Structure 1
Amino acid sequence: MFARRVRHINRYREIAVALLSQGFDYIVEEMGLIQKVPYYQRVRTVKKSGGIGERIRLVLQQLGPTYVKLGQIASTRPDLLPPGIIGELEKLQDKVPSFSFIEVHSVIQEELGRTLEEIFQHFEPGPLAAASIGQVHQAVLKTGEKVAVKIQRPDIATVIKTDLEILYELANLAERRFHWAKTYQLVDMIDEFSKALSSELDYTNESRNAEKISKQCINNPVICVPKVYRDYSSSKVLTAEYIEGIKISNKEKLEQQGYNISLLAERFAKEIFQQIFMEGFFHGDPHPGNVLVLPGETIAFLDFGMVGHLNSEMKYNLSSLVIGLMHQDSDEIAKTIYRMGIVSEYANKLKLRDDIELLVEKYYGVPLSQVSIGEAVNNIFAVALKHKIKIPADMVLVGKALLTMEGIVEKLDPHLSIFDIAEPFGKKIVMERLHPKTMTKKFWRNINDFSELFVSFPQQFKEFSAVVRHGRLRLDIAIPEMEHILKTQDRISNRVSFSIILLALSIFMASIIVSLSIAGQSSLLWPIPILEIGFGIAMVIFFWLLYAIIRSGNL
């Protein structure tokens, strides 16, 4: 317990120093972290040359793997963060040294219960790649298959757990101290990001994801997913088929080797749409490093740590968005946003529709071949964020996957229309929705819900009556901008109070002047000029009140 506390104190100090180094001293001071920083580090010169997004990125890089990984996850959420910050977070890269081969031996033996020599015929000591959570080695199984072995960094789970505990504490503190932290629901945001990070720490999740997408593609010979070797995998070790190919973004090399570039672009786009619209289970990060081209224009997907899930309702909503964009139908887009999101009680439907109209006008007259579906979907989610409508994380991941896919397709074949490829998928979902079998199933589900409501109504009414009878009925009334109204009322009360004091002082001074005039005495009292001092105080209060009223603009 003591050691854990010491670790937390040291990490708090590192966080405070990193924030100070990028000019976030006001946050450090407001959150009470300044006392944890040595004096010589408080007073050093701070650079504030970059924008806020760039400085946030530099802080995350300085704090190490956990924060870099969280930043990378946050970069996939344009529904939660402004574009300027998202753009900087996308630049975050894993720049970490590989861990030793001795540690690789140790992790494999501990996780798989056998030594490295018992499992592998050959194992490359140097990693193919090293990242914040783990590293990948090439190897050959005893049975002769070439494999890629991903091994988790020793103790990284403990480090991440400590960092997440501290982040929760800081997020709670920030929501109490800063309005912007409460607006962005920082605690919920950290909770969501930490769940995604914890999921990536368990390699069995990635194994299941790879196997599921592999089954989806079983009847498609031009799509390849590496086979996972479950007997040689665990939560910290993942052994999968080793695939050699050309990165899909390497157009020059693909052309040199005679690949049909247009066909590759079309196949890649169709597979992404198939995964999203038809299967509802898709690769969440199809960047060029995770997509290889094999002979026969076959496309291989790698690394399934980040995936998205869409149920039938979400798939229907997504297709409605795409069709609404194609027809430039603002009402349909607005209705879809309300269906798919968690709507704030203060959301203004008219303002939302106006903002969607402005967005649709942006695409008015533009040929569909020139419209980016990913960008358009992300723009719609940005409008939803503005109106405090929370979009499901998996739906937002769709926007990122589409943008990534479109970037690759545009590079391969600029003339390929993404909308033309997407349209049949969207229409198919709508037709499935309107199919008699689907509508009958939905009808009986609604009947079942109503019957449950009808059966439970007497009991619920009985409970409600008991609450009313015992006087425990509570009525919550929320008035928008109540806090602002109360503050304004408080300022008015203060000014009225000062005005009354000024009036009382003026009456008092006038009575003294009259009394002294009648008595024919001097205004000096114990050689102190009472009238002059009183007049001075009255003038200070008067001018202060006048300045406050003019400054408020309510003169």
Structure 2
Amino acid sequence: MTWLLVGKRVRHLQRYREIAQILIKHGFGWFLDEIGLSQLLSLPLRAHRAPPLRDTLNLYERIRVVIEQLGPTFIKFGQVASLRPDLFPLDLTQQLSKLQDEVPPFPVTQMTQVIEADLGTPLSQVFASFDPTPVGSASIGQVHRAVLHTGEVVAVKVQRPDIRVRIETDFEVMADIMDMAERHIEWARHYQLGEVVEEFRRTLMNELDYTIEARNSERIAHQFSEDPTVRIPRIFWDYTTPRVLVMEFVEGIKLSDRQHLLEAGFDPKELATRASRAVFSQLLLQGVFHADPHPGNLAALPGHVILFMDFGMVGRLTPDMKQHLSGLIIGLMRRNTDMILRALRRMGVVPADVNESKLRRDVEDMREKYYDVAMSQVNLGEAVRELLTVAFRHRIQIPAELSLVGKTLLTIEGVVQELDPKFRIMDVAEPFGKELIKQRLRPANVSRQGFHLLLDMAEFAIDFPHQLRTLVKDLRNGKARMQIQIPELPKLLLKLDRIGNRLSFSILLLSFSIFMSGWMVASALDKSPARIFQTPVTDVGLVVGLLMMVLLIWSIIKSGHL
């Protein structure tokens, strides 16, 4: 353990103890013992192992309650983890999806200090009026309605003054806990939970910089600049900083308020069609997408225009990821097992020891379930969940961005089904899938892929002689190493260790028996044995023999192998 790590643990000792107390309270003291954190607890806490909620809540419910009590950073992490059914059991991700980060608003005086510190001017000189009552409050910040001196109505998003320090502290603690978990728990090591935490840290630190959210908003707004059915609030850059975001205030009716929408004359089916079409356009055509289209972030404007809000969580797909995703969607549409398996292999990290026959059987079972079902009747959310469950079962790690795609599809399908229970999102998805097939078969795309393949082959041909010379040189100099793994070697070594211990123990017992027999014969003959410093040699030998036997027995017991 490095001194830096020790310093962090000492500095955050109180936070470690808070986390440990909550874990023990809900029956997870064994986890502390497993990763070696129980020594941070006081003796009374170590003795207290009776969780009051253990009898009424199941395992995954208790995990959710623990995360809720650990605070905003862990709640955010739980929300992100709920997007990864390829890493965590489906029942757990369903519990984590219930996590909410709504918290009471922070005082107006603190909010004013943040705005004036970041903008460098008094609040009254920036806004003609400012409503001190927030229209929304969350763990990172809150939103207020205000009016600029130009008369424009704006929404002002202000960050909590102490949130960055709290989050950075929790990240250091979380990273340490995951590091210990990877050292002691095989499952954590396989899924590289430390990297999952680091990936989450990058995501959340981006959310703490409101200028990144503003750029995300403008980028997606540019994608829909020619589409009159989608609206994105305008950003006021003169008043936007990493902790303050000022945007156009647009009032609409939330898509979750179906009754209000009906009273206002909106057609739920048209809203569902436009919302899902906008999401599929972002996912499959643009590659940059709003990754959190829940009902609170979507609203309806006059003319059935869909309003997208809050771009703190945005996903990006590289050309390769878009290619893998399109291959998966086409495979699902064609009910082609080989295409689905190829897409899974290309889009995830498939373990070397994966059972190919079982993986194929699971995909075949999923394919058979939808084989005779019309595409428009397929439940997209259920299909995505089943696919990710297959990935979890076979330890296939899906890239984070593609997991965001799955979460986005699940979310938007839930939104449109609330709007219109009879609506089938596959009616909208199918044309996009067919367009993807056409795009992949266009001569320009085929020739481009062939050109890239030729380039890869040319690079390989150019690099191969150099790599071969390097290998031969390393072999000549004795630098090349060959790693040989024998799966049964640990068991064999354990067996040899036991045989050696038993042999040593048997020899010692035999020697001691012979010695004791000679001593008893000498005593019976009443002959004086030789002496060392007036002490009979037999007595000295007896003491030495007993001592050696005790030491050998102790070493065997300590090794646990006899």
TM-score range, shorter chain: 0.7 to 0.9
Q: Output the amino acid matched with 2:121.
A: R
How far apart, in 2, do the equivalents of 1:72 and 1:353 lie?
Answer: 31
Equivalent residue in structure 1 for 2:154, among 147, 150, 159: 147
Q: Output the amino acid matched with 2:239.
A: Y
Equivalent residue in structure 2 for 1:289, among 292, 296, 300: 296
* Change beyond 3 A, Cα 1:441–1:222: same
Equivalent residue in structure 2 for 1:471, among 478, 485, 501: 478
Equivalent residue in structure 2 for 1:43, among 43, 47, 71: 47
Aligned to 1:543: none
Aligned to 1:549: none
**Aligned partner of residue 12 in structure 2, secondary structure:** helix
Contact 1:368/1:417, CA 8 A, preserved across alignment = no
**Aligned partner of residue 71 in structure 1, secondary structure:** helix
Q: Structure 1 residue 447: deviation in Å?
A: 2.9
Q: Structure 1 residue 336: deviation in Å?
A: 1.2
What is the root-mean-square deviation in Å for CA atoms of aligned residues? 3.4
Aligned to 1:16: 20
Q: Structure 1 residue 453: deviation in Å?
A: 3.3
**Aligned partner of residue 352 in structure 2, secondary structure:** coil
Output aligned runs, 1:86-125, within 5 Å: 86-125=93-132
What's the CA shift string for 1:48-104, capped at 9, x where partnerless? 232222222222222211111111111112121111211111111124221111111
Equivalent residue in structure 1 for 2:418, among 411, 417, 423: 411
Q: Structure 1 stretch 459-468 or stretch 65-74: which is displaced more?
A: 459-468
Q: Output the amino acid matched with 2:47.
A: V
Aligned to 1:239: 246
Identity %: 43
- Please give the TM-score of this superposition, normalised by the length of structure 1: 0.86
Contact 1:316/1:430, CA 8 A, preserved across alignment = no
Aligned to 2:531: none
How far apart, in 1, do the equivalents of 2:250 and 2:452 lie?
Answer: 46
* Change beyond 3 A, Cα 1:35–1:501: closer
Residue 264 (str. 1) matches residue 266 (str. 2) = no
How far apart, in 2, do the equivalents of 1:488 and 1:5 lie?
Answer: 38
* Change beyond 3 A, Cα 1:7–1:495: closer
Output aligned runs, 1:273-352, within 5 Å: 273-352=280-359
Aligned to 2:226: 219
Aligned to 1:200: 207
Contact 2:36/2:180, CA 8 A, preserved across alignment = no
Contact 2:174/2:197, CA 8 A, preserved across alignment = yes
What's the CA shift string for 1:233-278, capped at 9, x where partnerless? 0111111111111111221111122111111111111111111111
Q: Structure 1 stretch 152-161 or stretch 311-320: which is displaced more?
A: 311-320
Aligned to 1:190: 197
Equivalent residue in structure 2 for 1:425, among 407, 418, 432: 432
Aligned to 1:53: 60
* Change beyond 3 A, Cα 1:33–1:339: closer
Contact 1:222/1:298, CA 8 A, preserved across alignment = yes
**Aligned partner of residue 300 in structure 1, secondary structure:** strand
Aligned to 1:401: 408
Q: Structure 1 residue 446: deviation in Å?
A: 2.9
What's the CA shift string for 1:443-465, capped at 9, x where partnerless? 33333333333334443333333
Q: Output the amino acid matched with 2:41.
A: V
Contact 1:320/1:426, CA 8 A, preserved across alignment = no
Q: Output the amino acid matched with 2:173.
A: I
* Change beyond 3 A, Cα 1:350–1:30: closer
How far apart, in 1, do the equivalents of 2:500 and 2:288 lie?
Answer: 65
* Change beyond 3 A, Cα 1:170–1:353: same
What's the CA shift string for 1:404-460, capped at 9, x where partnerless? 111122222233332222111112122112212222223333333333333344433
Contact 1:23/1:46, CA 8 A, preserved across alignment = yes
Equivalent residue in structure 1 for 2:492, among 480, 489, 492: 489
Q: Structure 1 residue 487: deviation in Å?
A: 4.7
**Aligned partner of residue 389 in structure 1, secondary structure:** coil
Q: Structure 1 residue 387: deviation in Å?
A: 2.3
How far apart, in 2, do the equivalents of 1:281 and 1:493 lie?
Answer: 59
* Change beyond 3 A, Cα 1:264–1:132: same
What's the CA shift string for 1:94-115, capped at 9, x where partnerless? 2422111111111112212222
**Aligned partner of residue 438 in structure 1, secondary structure:** helix
Equivalent residue in structure 1 for 2:38, among 31, 34, 58: 34
Contact 1:73/1:196, CA 8 A, preserved across alignment = no
* Change beyond 3 A, Cα 1:361–1:505: farther
Contact 1:378/1:396, CA 8 A, preserved across alignment = no
Aligned to 1:359: 366
Contact 1:322/1:373, CA 8 A, preserved across alignment = no
* Change beyond 3 A, Cα 1:497–1:3: closer
Q: Structure 1 residue 144: deviation in Å?
A: 0.9
How far apart, in 2, do the equivalents of 1:38 and 1:197 lie?
Answer: 33
Aligned to 2:73: 66
* Change beyond 3 A, Cα 1:6–1:511: closer
How far apart, in 1, do the equivalents of 2:10 and 2:429 lie?
Answer: 55
What's the CA shift string for 1:147-181, capped at 9, x where partnerless? 11111111211111111111111111111122232
Equivalent residue in structure 1 for 2:89, among 82, 85, 88: 82
Unaligned runs of 5+ in 2: 519-523, 525-562
Q: Structure 1 residue 322: deviation in Å?
A: 2.3
Q: Output the amino acid matched with 1:422.
A: A
Q: Output the amino acid matched with 2:51.
A: V
Q: Structure 1 residue 502: deviation in Å?
A: 9.4
Equivalent residue in structure 1 for 2:180, among 169, 173, 179: 173
Q: Output the amino acid matched with 2:14.
A: N
Unaligned runs of 5+ in 1: 516-520, 522-555
* Change beyond 3 A, Cα 1:144–1:134: same
Q: Output the amino acid matched with 1:29.
A: D
How far apart, in 2, do the equivalents of 1:212 and 1:158 lie?
Answer: 29
What's the CA shift string for 1:351-394, capped at 9, x where partnerless? 22112112222324334333222331232222223323221111
How far apart, in 2, do the equivalents of 1:462 and 1:508 lie?
Answer: 61
How far apart, in 2, do the equivalents of 1:299 and 1:154 lie?
Answer: 33
- Please give the TM-score of this superposition, normalised by the length of structure 2: 0.85
The alignment of Structure 1 onto Structure 2 pairs a total of residues equal to 526
Contact 2:143/2:157, CA 8 A, preserved across alignment = yes
Contact 2:89/2:392, CA 8 A, preserved across alignment = no
How far apart, in 2, do the equivalents of 1:175 and 1:5 lie?
Answer: 18
How far apart, in 1, do the equivalents of 2:501 and 2:469 lie?
Answer: 56
**Aligned partner of residue 111 in structure 1, secondary structure:** helix
